[in-house]
Amino acid sequence: MPRHYLCTMEKCSNIKVRQLHDFRSLSKKSLNRLVHTSESLFVPKGTVIFEENQPLNKVYCIKEGACKFSTFDNLGREHITRFLGKGDIMGKRSLVSNRCAKVSATALVDSVLCCLDKKEIQKNLKTNPDFCNDLLSAFVDDVDTHDSTRTIYCAHKSIKQRLAKLILYLAEKFGQEPNGKLLIRIKREDMASVLGTSQEYVINLLTHFKNKGFLKITRSEIILDSKKGLKNLI
């Protein structure tokens, strides 16, 4: 079950991610008021944070862990549209559109979120032009991120090329250990959902990459041995 507790936003200032600069133009008084109305939320792996078409009254900053955005088609099949990590903010669009969520958000691993009050942020948007500009910059960052990952979702690329791009993206987004092991563990099922293919085909391609010497694989881990090998496929 999710666990709620007071959020001091202490950790946020230590996360070196550009997204968290969205709040740099708030006055100390405004920031303190935002802190007072916020809370931390521990969410276990697999927890749905919000669902598609759900009204949002919070904005969520990922302090620790990782989440995914996804939609579901008429047959109930999941389509993952984005992976999010430490410092990413979920629910920004609702600040300006007041529309329901366009995607569902789910914790990929045990995660800690900072839950910020949407109305409090909207007050600052109305009275603080610099804060408004910072938020617009954050939207531009989101577009840039989408552009940089376009290859993963590009239909005219082969599944093999898109899987290679996905693995390289996960390595860049979430980091690696010194031995090349990806810090994020992504289920083969989720990889298949991103690529629009079957889990079996993803497993076969990973085995192919392994045989080529590009990576090592276990049931839950990927150790990247040759970024160059994967890049040459794209």
Give one word for 15, left, alpha or beta, with left for phi > 0 and alpha for psi -120 to 50: beta
Per CATH, the number for 3-148 is 2.60.120.10
Strand partners, 104: 70
CA distance 24 to 31: 9
79, burial (CB in 10 Å: exposed 0-12, middle 13-18, buried 19+): middle
Put simply, whether the predicted model's pTM sits higher than 0.95 gets the answer no
Q: Is-contact 95 121, C-beta < 8 A? A: yes
pLDDT value of position 8: 46
Query: What residues does CATH 1.10.10.10 cover in the chain?
Result: 151-231
pLDDT value of position 107: 96
pLDDT value of position 143: 60
Alpha-carbon distances, residue 114 vs 85, 148, 212 (angstroms): 13, 26, 42
- Which tokens belong to 142? 């989101």
pLDDT in tens, 110-147: 999 988 888 888 888 888 888 888 777 777 666 656 65
Q: Is-contact 9 114, C-beta < 8 A? A: yes
Contact partners, residue 126, CB within 8 Å, separation at least 6: none
pLDDT in tens, 48-100: 999 999 999 888 989 999 999 999 888 888 999 899 998 888 988 888 787 89
- Could you identify the residue written with the tokens 């993963």? 152
pLDDT value of position 140: 67
pLDDT value of position 17: 36
Per CATH, the number for 151-231 is 1.10.10.10
Query: What residues does CATH 2.60.120.10 cover in the chain?
Result: 3-148
- Which tokens belong to 122? 């909207």
Query: Rounded to 5 degrees, what angle do the CA atoms 50, 151, 167 make?
Result: 75
DSSP-derived pairing of the beta strands 3-6 and 78-84: unpaired
The dihedral sign for the CA sequence 81, 53, 112, 78: negative
Q: Is-contact 134 21, C-beta < 8 A? A: yes
Alpha helices in the chain (DSSP H): 10-14, 28-36, 93-97, 118-127, 129-148, 150-153, 159-174, 188-195, 199-211, 227-231
CA distance 29 to 35: 10
